[in-house]
Chain A
């Protein structure tokens, strides 16, 4: 594998009951890069993302994070180095916003409480929610909850952030605030893999777009190429549909 890859995904395969969802997917990510996975639903994007941190255990293939292979035996430690942002946020509902952002720093990374608190406040400021530290998740809008979950992931100081359709559960007027945070992170040099249908984000923030269909990568390239003169009929068809509806 190339030494400068933060994330190296090699030939990942996954089948459910004989149905192949991922048919051998590979891609790499350098430090500071943002790659956006797009494709029709059922194409395997989310499964691929979940295979990276073994929320779904792949049937075959290898995944390396900074040169270390992700294995069942080291999975907790590896996950602590990969932030994961869910479609439906999954904030810990019994904890305040501050505790949501702090608990895994303390329990997983062993950070001292004072330092974890400081870090939590810094990340909340970064996502524009300093004033919500004492609120509970159920008191927040969906957009705010998703920004807290981004802060929660950032506070772990991850090598890479994985976003699984982070705006799909949000009302259209709330997606903007989440997309802006993600764009800002991309601009600041965060390393990110994003599954999304937000083409504006893909266009502006992605270093590379990966188009998936039927468990294969059909095409990948920088957004300007993909959006203007994609060589593949399927990619163009998909982007046209998105453009019409989005």
Chain B
């Protein structure tokens, strides 16, 4: 049986691995989005008190400053000592929390790129701060955020492969199984895997760019 037959036979396993990678990606991006948006809003519009702001800065610095592979080990081996967490759960948590740190900064710069006059005009018309953020600042910031967010999306797709190290059976680990069972053929198998990651990446990016074009405001120079 040559490697192509094996690949054909085992392709469903690769697809399954891809599926796990996609679920991991979706979960970590959602956690990162919700938490990152929360952090960004508190940093920009929340109380200025150090008690509130410093922990956020500390959080952001730590999660942006430590390699993800170390975070994966810490979350998996650290947490599983006190609480029964699956490798997948640890990966979602570690990567989601880290993505939150990055996404909070993407959103923060997007919000800050909205001219101050927009908030001022909304407030001058009688909108509360929350209404002004929701109806005026957020829709503009969201448009500015799509570009940088596409970057984060691409990075995270690729980094899902690191969940391999704590035993999550995602695409890279499935590939490794195939390689182990056929004893060799590293290049061929990883070439197929690379192609799968690449397709996923391009598809996601295309969708995000399409969204960016769809939301573009006429006459607005970027």
Using a CB–CB cutoff of 8 Å, the interface residues on chain A facing chain B are 53, 55, 76-81, 84, 86, 88, 90-94, 103-104, 107-109, 135-140, 149, 152-153, 156
Contact = CB atoms under 8 A, between A and B. Distances in A.
Given A79-B124, A80-B125, A139 B218 contact: yes
A149 B117 CA distance: 13
17 contacts: A76-B128, A77-B126, A79-B123, A79-B124, A90-B115, A90-B118, A90-B120, A91-B121, A92-B136, A93-B140, A93-B217, A94-B140, A108-B131, A135-B218, A138-B217, A138-B219, A138-B220
A169 to B, nearest CB: 11
A153 B124 CA distance: 10
B127 interface: yes
Nearest to A84: B124
Interface residues on B, range: 20 to 34
B122 interface: yes
Contact of B135 (A78, A107, A140, A156): A107
Given A94-B217, A103-B135, A55 B117 contact: no
Interface in B66-120: 115, 117-118, 120
Nearest to A87: B117
B85 to A, nearest CB: 42
Contacts of A86: 117, 120-121, 124
Contact of A92 (B121, B126, B128, B219): B121
B138 to A, nearest CB: 10
A217 to B, nearest CB: 24
B139 interface: yes
Contacts of A139: 218-219
A136 B218 contact: yes
Contacts of A109: 126
B221 interface: yes
B8 to A, nearest CB: 50
B118 A79 contact: no
Interface string B128-166: 100100011001100100000000000000000000000
Contacts of B136: 92, 94
